[in-house]
């Protein structure tokens, strides 16, 4: 048992909470002018760096521009970037869990029933109410999955493929990526023997685009995007979906439809 537990710990991936890190910026950097601008720029560097190299460049530029090169807190954060910066973690599968989901956690759920001054006897009574409420919500959700249909947002047969299999909750997440395709411009940059490389520009603002490299292997029916959304959350991103649309793919490989989110799985 001990050996099994030790083996499990060795393969466990740990990550820090970005929500807590970003919340500390005002107190950690309040001695610098324009800390609100510093917070905004740091957030952009953390979330909008789409490769490890680009994060390193953007981080160094950020430190230089705001005179933060000698700040120990930021230096320590950079040393530990592999446990909190998304681009260093997104190649691991997190099943939709995010380090910023504090407000959606079980703490938030139990706060609806229990307060700081709840007595021990009241706690046990309310705990049963918590479980009953949770079970009822899950039963209602299961019934909705089987007896109602969320309309597709596009004419894509791939979207209909996910609509048929996934629970309503997960399909809404998938559907958001199909809607996001409208902001993407796809350009073929290289192709040979069924293997194609695309550049997908995603419009963020009127004249600002983020660019992503997407590869498509028509022989293996495999698509990969630089943003690593599928690798980390198990959902095909809007950039990959844009390439599949460009390639006129009508159905995705079963590897992209995860059984864990199928409405037919008994929970």
- Under the banding of pLDDT at 50, 70 and 90, the label for residue 7 is low
| Whether the Cβ atoms of residue 104 and residue 111 lie closer than 8 Å to each other | no
Last residue of a domain, one of 37, 68, 88: 88
What span, in angstroms and rounded, lies between the C-alpha atoms of 62 and 222? 36
pLDDT surpassing 80 at residue 142: no
Residue with tokens 């979207």: 159
pLDDT surpassing 70 at residue 235: yes
What span, in angstroms and rounded, lies between the C-alpha atoms of 237 and 214? 10
165 and 255 housed in the same domain? yes
Answer whether residue 145 is part of any domain.
Answer: no
The tally of domains found in the chain comes to 2
What span, in angstroms and rounded, lies between the C-alpha atoms of 126 and 16? 31
Residue with tokens 């107190």: 27
- Under the banding of pLDDT at 50, 70 and 90, the label for residue 10 is low
pLDDT per residue as tens digits for the range 43-58? 889 988 888 899 999 9
pLDDT per residue as tens digits for the range 186-206? 999 999 999 999 999 999 888
Last residue of a domain, one of 57, 88, 119: 88
Last residue of a domain, one of 88, 108, 127: 88
Answer whether residue 200 is part of any domain.
Answer: yes
Q: Mean of the per-residue pLDDT values for the chain?
A: 84
Instruction: Domain of residue 248: give its range.
Output: 157-261
């Amino acid at each position: 048992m001990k050996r099994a537990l030790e083996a499990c710990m060795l393969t466990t991936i740990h990550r820090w909470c970005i929500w807590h890190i970003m919340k500390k910026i005002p107190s950690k950097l309040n001695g610098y002018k324009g800390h609100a601008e510093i917070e905004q720029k740091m957030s952009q560097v953390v979330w909008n760096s789409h490769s490890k190299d680009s994060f390193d460049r953007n981080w160094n530029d950020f430190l230089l521009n705001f005179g933060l090169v000698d700040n120990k807190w930021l230096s320590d954060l950079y040393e530990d970037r592999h446990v909190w910066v998304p681009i260093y973690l997104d190649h691991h599968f997190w099943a939709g869990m995010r380090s910023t989901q504090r407000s959606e956690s079980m703490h938030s759920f139990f706060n609806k029933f229990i307060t700081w001054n709840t007595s021990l006897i009241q706690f046990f009574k309310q705990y049963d109410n918590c479980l009953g409420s949770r079970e009822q919500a899950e039963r209602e959700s299961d019934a909705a999955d089987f007896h109602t249909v969320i309309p597709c947002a596009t004419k894509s047969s791939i979207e209909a493929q996910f609509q048929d299999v996934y629970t309503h909750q997960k399909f809404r997440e998938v559907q958001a990526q199909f809607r996001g395709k409208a902001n993407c411009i796809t350009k073929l940059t290289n192709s040979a023997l069924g293997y194609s490389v695309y550049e997908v520009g995603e419009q963020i603002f009127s004249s600002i685009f983020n660019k992503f490299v997407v590869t498509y292997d028509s022989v293996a029916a495999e698509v990969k995007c630089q943003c690593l959304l599928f690798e980390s959350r198990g959902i095909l991103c809007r950039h990959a979906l844009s390439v599949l649309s460009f390639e006129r793919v009508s159905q995705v490989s079963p590897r992209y439809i995860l059984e864990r989110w199928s409405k037919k799985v008994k929970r």
